[in-house]
Amino acid sequence: METAKKLTNLQLELLKVFRFDIPDDQLLEIRSFLRNYFANKVTSEMDQLFESNQWGEEKIEEWSKEHMRTKYEGQ
């Protein structure tokens, strides 16, 4: 049997905030807000990573040509 995992601080906070039912349209709006929030965080972190390493379009092109698949037994 799998060991129960603890909830994260974000999950606990969301449970406190959303202990009341809300209309579906508000739920969709909140999902969209959270999705956009985390997408913006990732974009910001990637921008900082590219800036600090002085990467540009060349790096993206280099990555697009890499094969990073895991070789499985029997292949």
Rounded CA separation 37/24 (Å): 20
- CA 32 → CA 1, 27, 28, 35, distances in Å? 35, 9, 6, 5
Domain ranges within the chain, ordered by starting residue = 23-64
Per-residue model confidence as pLDDT tens digits over 41-75: 999 999 999 999 999 999 989 988 888 777 777 65
**Cα–Cα distance between 56 and 74 in angstroms, integer?**
38
Q: What is the DSSP string of 5-41?
A: PPPPHHHHHHHHHT-S---HHHHHHHHHHHHHHHHHH
Please state the pTM of the whole predicted model.
0.62
